[in-house]
Homo-oligomer: A and B are copies of this chain.
Amino acid sequence: MKNSLKLLPLLAAVALSQGVNAQQAPKPEQLIKWRQSAFQVVAWDFNRIKANLEGSYNKEDVVKAANTIAAIANGGLGSLFATGTETGRGWHDTSTKPALFAAGSKVGDHAASFAKESAALAILAVTSDQAHVKEQFGKLGGTCKACHDDYKVKD
Protein backbone atom coordinates (compact mmCIF):
# COMPACT_ATOMS: atom_id res chain seq x y z
CA MET A 1 0.00 0.00 0.00
CA LYS A 2 2.71 2.40 1.02
CA ASN A 3 4.73 1.57 -2.09
CA SER A 4 1.85 2.00 -4.50
CA LEU A 5 0.99 5.36 -2.97
CA LYS A 6 4.55 6.47 -3.57
CA LEU A 7 4.46 5.17 -7.10
CA LEU A 8 1.37 7.08 -8.23
CA PRO A 9 2.86 10.59 -8.32
CA LEU A 10 5.92 9.20 -10.05
CA LEU A 11 3.84 7.60 -12.80
CA ALA A 12 1.84 10.77 -13.22
CA ALA A 13 5.03 12.80 -13.51
CA VAL A 14 6.41 10.43 -16.13
CA ALA A 15 3.18 10.54 -18.08
CA LEU A 16 3.10 14.34 -18.06
CA SER A 17 6.77 14.68 -18.94
CA GLN A 18 6.19 12.46 -21.96
CA GLY A 19 3.13 14.40 -23.03
CA VAL A 20 1.01 11.32 -22.55
CA ASN A 21 -2.59 12.15 -21.82
CA ALA A 22 -3.63 11.35 -18.29
CA GLN A 23 -6.89 9.87 -19.57
CA GLN A 24 -7.13 6.34 -20.82
CA ALA A 25 -7.39 6.19 -24.59
CA PRO A 26 -10.96 5.42 -25.67
CA LYS A 27 -11.63 1.76 -26.43
CA PRO A 28 -12.32 0.64 -30.02
CA GLU A 29 -16.00 0.03 -29.25
CA GLN A 30 -16.27 3.62 -28.03
CA LEU A 31 -14.61 4.95 -31.19
CA ILE A 32 -16.98 2.90 -33.35
CA LYS A 33 -19.96 4.22 -31.38
CA TRP A 34 -18.75 7.79 -31.84
CA ARG A 35 -18.19 7.40 -35.58
CA GLN A 36 -21.62 5.84 -36.03
CA SER A 37 -23.04 8.78 -34.08
CA ALA A 38 -21.13 11.34 -36.14
CA PHE A 39 -22.53 9.95 -39.40
CA GLN A 40 -26.03 9.83 -37.89
CA VAL A 41 -25.77 13.54 -37.14
CA VAL A 42 -24.65 14.10 -40.71
CA ALA A 43 -27.68 12.08 -41.86
CA TRP A 44 -29.97 14.21 -39.68
CA ASP A 45 -28.63 17.43 -41.14
CA PHE A 46 -28.55 16.05 -44.68
CA ASN A 47 -32.21 15.09 -44.27
CA ARG A 48 -33.04 18.59 -43.00
CA ILE A 49 -31.43 20.27 -45.98
CA LYS A 50 -33.18 17.89 -48.37
CA ALA A 51 -36.54 18.65 -46.74
CA ASN A 52 -35.89 22.38 -47.10
CA LEU A 53 -34.97 22.01 -50.76
CA GLU A 54 -37.99 19.87 -51.54
CA GLY A 55 -40.48 21.87 -49.50
CA SER A 56 -40.51 25.22 -47.79
CA TYR A 57 -37.00 26.72 -47.76
CA ASN A 58 -35.88 28.07 -44.40
CA LYS A 59 -32.46 29.63 -44.86
CA GLU A 60 -31.61 29.73 -41.16
CA ASP A 61 -32.36 26.03 -40.80
CA VAL A 62 -30.24 25.18 -43.83
CA VAL A 63 -27.34 27.28 -42.51
CA LYS A 64 -27.42 25.46 -39.17
CA ALA A 65 -27.56 22.03 -40.78
CA ALA A 66 -24.81 22.79 -43.32
CA ASN A 67 -22.61 24.27 -40.61
CA THR A 68 -22.87 21.13 -38.48
CA ILE A 69 -22.06 18.84 -41.40
CA ALA A 70 -19.03 20.99 -42.25
CA ALA A 71 -17.84 21.00 -38.64
CA ILE A 72 -18.02 17.21 -38.45
CA ALA A 73 -16.50 16.65 -41.89
CA ASN A 74 -13.60 18.95 -41.00
CA GLY A 75 -13.44 17.88 -37.37
CA GLY A 76 -11.05 14.93 -37.37
CA LEU A 77 -13.27 11.98 -38.27
CA GLY A 78 -10.19 9.98 -39.24
CA SER A 79 -9.27 9.43 -35.59
CA LEU A 80 -12.49 7.44 -35.18
CA PHE A 81 -11.17 4.90 -37.69
CA ALA A 82 -8.04 4.18 -35.64
CA THR A 83 -6.24 0.85 -35.74
CA GLY A 84 -8.24 -1.63 -33.69
CA THR A 85 -11.60 -0.48 -35.02
CA GLU A 86 -11.56 -2.66 -38.16
CA THR A 87 -14.20 -4.88 -36.63
CA GLY A 88 -16.41 -4.54 -33.60
CA ARG A 89 -19.68 -3.18 -32.33
CA GLY A 90 -20.65 0.35 -31.41
CA TRP A 91 -24.41 0.96 -31.51
CA HIS A 92 -24.37 -1.92 -34.00
CA ASP A 93 -21.74 -4.00 -35.81
CA THR A 94 -19.52 -1.70 -37.81
CA SER A 95 -20.66 -1.04 -41.37
CA THR A 96 -17.14 -0.14 -42.45
CA LYS A 97 -15.62 -2.50 -45.01
CA PRO A 98 -12.14 -3.88 -44.23
CA ALA A 99 -10.93 -2.22 -47.46
CA LEU A 100 -11.01 1.19 -45.75
CA PHE A 101 -8.20 0.15 -43.42
CA ALA A 102 -6.03 -1.44 -46.12
CA ALA A 103 -2.81 0.11 -47.31
CA GLY A 104 -3.49 2.07 -50.46
CA SER A 105 -7.03 2.87 -49.39
CA LYS A 106 -8.22 6.08 -51.00
CA VAL A 107 -10.31 7.01 -47.98
CA GLY A 108 -8.19 10.12 -47.42
CA ASP A 109 -9.23 11.45 -50.82
CA HIS A 110 -12.89 10.78 -50.03
CA ALA A 111 -12.54 12.48 -46.64
CA ALA A 112 -10.91 15.50 -48.25
CA SER A 113 -13.74 15.78 -50.80
CA PHE A 114 -16.35 15.48 -48.04
CA ALA A 115 -14.58 18.19 -46.02
CA LYS A 116 -14.23 20.51 -49.03
CA GLU A 117 -17.76 20.19 -50.43
CA SER A 118 -19.40 20.50 -47.00
CA ALA A 119 -17.39 23.63 -46.22
CA ALA A 120 -18.46 25.08 -49.58
CA LEU A 121 -22.10 24.27 -48.79
CA ALA A 122 -21.87 25.96 -45.38
CA ILE A 123 -20.61 29.14 -47.04
CA LEU A 124 -23.15 29.04 -49.89
CA ALA A 125 -26.00 28.49 -47.44
CA VAL A 126 -25.21 31.90 -45.97
CA THR A 127 -24.20 33.78 -49.09
CA SER A 128 -26.30 32.35 -51.88
CA ASP A 129 -29.78 31.28 -52.89
CA GLN A 130 -31.71 28.02 -52.89
CA ALA A 131 -30.74 27.10 -56.45
CA HIS A 132 -27.02 27.32 -55.70
CA VAL A 133 -27.46 25.50 -52.41
CA LYS A 134 -29.27 22.72 -54.28
CA GLU A 135 -26.45 22.40 -56.78
CA GLN A 136 -23.79 22.26 -54.06
CA PHE A 137 -25.92 19.87 -51.98
CA GLY A 138 -25.83 17.53 -54.97
CA LYS A 139 -22.03 17.69 -55.02
CA LEU A 140 -21.89 16.97 -51.31
CA GLY A 141 -24.20 13.99 -51.73
CA GLY A 142 -21.87 12.72 -54.43
CA THR A 143 -18.98 12.62 -51.96
CA CYS A 144 -21.11 10.63 -49.50
CA LYS A 145 -22.09 8.13 -52.19
CA ALA A 146 -18.56 7.72 -53.53
CA CYS A 147 -17.19 6.82 -50.11
CA HIS A 148 -20.15 4.59 -49.21
CA ASP A 149 -19.80 2.71 -52.51
CA ASP A 150 -16.19 1.92 -51.70
CA TYR A 151 -16.17 1.47 -47.96
CA LYS A 152 -19.62 1.01 -46.44
CA VAL A 153 -21.45 -2.29 -46.18
CA LYS A 154 -24.92 -1.96 -47.70
CA ASP A 155 -27.81 -1.85 -45.19
Contact = CB atoms under 8 A, between A and B. Distances in A.
Interface string A82-116: 00000000010000000000000000000000000
A50 B25 CA distance: 12
Nearest to A34: B44
A35 B143 CA distance: 24
A9 to B, nearest CB: 15
A78 to B, nearest CB: 11
Nearest to A67: B71
A127 interface: no
Interface in A104-154: none
Contact of A21 (B22, B26, B56): B56
B68 A72 contact: yes
Interface in A1-44: 15-16, 19-23, 26, 33-34, 36-38, 40-41, 43-44
Chain A binding surface SS class: helix
Most B-side CB within 10 Å, residue of A44, A51, A72: A44
A54 interface: yes
**Most interface-central of A26, A40, A51, A55 (chain B CB within 10 A):** A40
A23 B50 contact: yes
A33 B37 CA distance: 9
